[in-house]
Structure 1
Amino acid sequence: MTSNRLTSTARLSDVQRQRLLCRDPWLVLGFGVPTFLLLSIPALSLLLFPIATAAGTLLTRRLVAR
């Protein structure tokens, strides 16, 4: 994947962004729900926030590559 392809996601319209997320909703929910729940615990959020950011970036790259 080239950086042009990844940075092009920043210019997606709302409809295109929703289509991207709806391609694999279980993957998105499987990441989002546990991340939300774990980030609600104050002590864990300090450690988990950078990990969740990196994981979200990897998830986005995976969805764009499909």
Structure 2
Amino acid sequence: MNGQTHGGRIGTSFGGVARNVADCMTRLSGDASVRLVSAVGWDRHGDALLAHNPAMVRLGLDTGRVSIGP
């Protein structure tokens, strides 16, 4: 290390086992209803996931059981 600072990038993606499985099942299910049941934090990450919610709904994923908790 030469003491210099090197810029980097940080990215956020919405995943995790439950969300990924629900996404895949929605894509594979045809007419069957798939529901994501989960809790998100009462913080900026939870807010970001809920802001991404319309994209999940457009896929046909029922996100009505995603709750917010401290």
TM-score range for the pair, normalised by the shorter chain length: 0.3 to 0.5
Greater relative CO (CA pairs within 8 A, separation 6+) = 1
The two structures have a TM-score, normalised by structure 1, of 0.33
Which of the pair has more CA radius of gyration?
2
- Structure number with the higher strand fraction is 2
The two structures have a TM-score, normalised by structure 2, of 0.32
- Structure number with the higher helix fraction is 1
